[in-house]
């Protein structure tokens, strides 16, 4: 009798575990999707920004199961990591050399602007942690401007110098916007 009970309940238990794990995962990714949808609902280019938000956050450790507040912190941390990586990329490009005078100057401007922005992202992390959401939004506005200024240093949309930092700048800009929008949606 006891043996029969065990033989029935083990597969049942396994099934239960599988079902529960599945619904947890579905619930978690749903939070990312819902948070991104809500945050980007009023944004320009939301049809591009929402999937960018979802894929960036889902790739981040800890996003599964995080609520909107947690996702705001994760998005801000991602921005910090992205700007740190951007500085490294710029330094590597400078070391590689072979740039025109104009590109060399643009790279130097970018390095300076991204390094300045890193300090401001740290300040934004602190503002978020202490609930100073207005300070946060204004910090992130400054942070975002570093990426757009960098792209502009290469001549911007109408310029003729092709920016080697196009993707870096676009990712940095978009991540900053996503983080800001999520924080705004908390208010």
Residues near ligand NAG (CB under 6 A):
45, 48-49, 52, 56, 62, 70, 73-74, 77, 81-82, 85, 170-171, 173-175
Question: Residue 155: left if φ>0, alpha if ψ -120 to 50, beta else—which one?
Answer: left
Judged by CB, which is closer to ligand NAG: 137, or 178? 178
The CB-of-36 to ligand NAG minimum distance in angstroms stands at 11
In angstroms, the CA 128 to CA 76 distance is: 9
Tell me the closest approach of the beta carbon of residue 120 to ligand NAG, in angstroms: 16
Residues with Cβ within 8 Å of 139's Cβ and at least 6 positions away in sequence, in order, are 120, 121, 123, 124, 127
For the bound state, the minimum distance from the C-beta of residue 149 to ligand NAG, rounded and expressed in Å, comes to 12
Decide whether 30 or 126 has the Cβ nearer to ligand NAG: 126
Looking at the Cβ atoms of 70 and 159, the one nearer to ligand NAG is 70
Task: Compute the half-sphere exposure of residue 146: CA atoms within 13 Å on the CB side of its CA.
Answer: 30
Burial code (b: 16+ CB inside 10 Å, e: under 16) for 38-66 equals ebbeebeebeebbebbbebbeebeebeeb
Closest distance of CB 77 from ligand NAG, Å: 4
> Nearer Cβ to ligand NAG, position 52 or 136?
52
What is the smallest separation between the CB atom of 140 and ligand NAG, expressed in angstroms?
Answer: 15
CA-angle at 155, arms to 154 and 156, nearest 5°: 100
Query: Which C-beta is closer to ligand NAG: that of 85 or that of 133?
Result: 85
């Amino acid at each position: 009798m006891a043996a029969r009970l065990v033989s029935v309940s083990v597969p049942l238990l396994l099934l239960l575990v599988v079902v529960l794990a599945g619904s947890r995962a579905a619930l978690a990714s749903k939070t990312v999707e819902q948070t991104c949808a809500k945050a980007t609902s009023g944004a320009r280019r939301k049809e591009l920004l929402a999937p960018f938000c979802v894929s960036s956050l889902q790739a981040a450790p800890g996003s599964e199961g995080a609520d909107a507040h947690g996702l705001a912190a994760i998005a801000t941390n991602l921005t910090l990591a992205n700007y740190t990586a951007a500085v490294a990329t710029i330094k590597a490009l400078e070391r590689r050399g072979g740039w025109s005078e104009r590109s060399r100057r643009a790279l130097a401007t970018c390095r300076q602007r991204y390094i300045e922005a890193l300090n401001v992202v740290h300040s934004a992390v602190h503002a978020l942690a202490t609930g100073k959401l207005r300070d946060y939004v204004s910090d992130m506005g400054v942070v975002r401007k570093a990426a757009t200024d960098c792209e502009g240093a290469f001549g911007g949309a109408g310029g003729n110098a092709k920016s080697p930092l196009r993707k870096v700048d676009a990712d940095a800009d978009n991540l900053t916007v996503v983080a800001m929008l999520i924080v705004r949606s908390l208010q």
